[in-house]
Amino acid sequence: MANKTYDAITEHKAFVSTNLPPNISGLEKYHDSGIFYICNRDHCFRPVLVLDLGKLLKSEIEEEEILRYTIFIIEWLINNAMVPGKIENWFVIVDCANLGFTKIPRAKMRRVINTMRNVYRGRLYRVGMINMTMMLRIVLSTVHAFIDQFTAKKMFTYGSNYQEFLKAHIDAGKLEEKFGGTYPTITEEFFLPHLD
């Protein structure tokens, strides 16, 4: 256990020294892509992050750039949308609409997920993976065996029946219409974040 802790601290220190502050040069073009954005807050005022895997798949964004953009969004979130001691974690919606198992942008996702899991430990409150096909849910259930139990308990997967789950955590007035809420679906100007 002590070695894992030491390794995690060493990894975090190396990450901070090479990636922070984030290099935002050239990332402005992704502000309106809708790949990864912040939309309002949940019932406990945690920021809600939305990751649209369909848009990520269609984009020309390179693996290194999606990692840099993720770091930029997360660091903006930590510095501008958190309240130390009160609001210190976030809620994530991963929209898997129109994705089959073979279409998942694995290479683009691997480093993003590892970065969020290893560098931003303890920041994730819940992740709702929605619009998943049955095959995706079966594959993900086998992956759960390789994820630590603490993280696995925070992951929830749904097909098209996700509205009740999201509304249990996010007020309908703060949830985008495309997810079953009444907040207008964001189609442009994804950044600066919508934190009404």
pLDDT tens digits for 110-163?
Answer: 777 777 777 888 898 999 999 988 877 777 666 666 567 777 788 888 989 999
Asked if pLDDT for residue 177 goes beyond 90, the answer is: yes
Q: Which residues pair with 156 in a beta bridge?
A: 128
Asked if pLDDT for residue 102 goes beyond 80, the answer is: no
Question: Do the domain assignments include residue 188?
Answer: no
CA torsion angle for 106, 111, 115, 118 (degrees, to 10)? 80
Question: Do the domain assignments include residue 195?
Answer: no
* Residue 8's CATH number: 3.40.525.10
pLDDT tens by residue, 16-39? 888 888 888 888 888 888 999 999
Question: Do the domain assignments include residue 72?
Answer: yes
Q: Which residues pair with 92 in a beta bridge?
A: 49, 127
Per-residue CA distances from 42 to 22, 119, 132, 172 (Å): 26, 23, 22, 10
Which domain covers residue 162, as residue numbers?
A: 2-179
State the pLDDT at residue 147: 67
pLDDT tens by residue, 56-99? 888 878 888 888 888 999 999 999 999 999 999 999 999 998 77
State the pLDDT at residue 146: 59
Find the angle CA(133)-CA(137)-CA(143) to the nearest 5 degrees: 145
pTM of the model: 0.88
State the pLDDT at residue 168: 96
Q: How confident is the model at residue 170 (pLDDT cuts 50, 70, 90)?
A: very high
Question: Do the domain assignments include residue 158?
Answer: yes
Question: Do the domain assignments include residue 175?
Answer: yes
Among candidates 73, 83, 146, 65, which has minimal Cα distance to 116? 73
Question: Do the domain assignments include residue 190?
Answer: no
Asked if pLDDT for residue 194 goes beyond 90, the answer is: no
Q: How far apart are CA 68 and CA 112, in angstroms?
A: 9
Per-residue CA distances from 81 to 11, 77, 97, 184, 195 (Å): 25, 5, 28, 21, 8
Question: Do the domain assignments include residue 80?
Answer: yes
Q: How far apart are CA 131 and CA 94, in angstroms?
A: 9
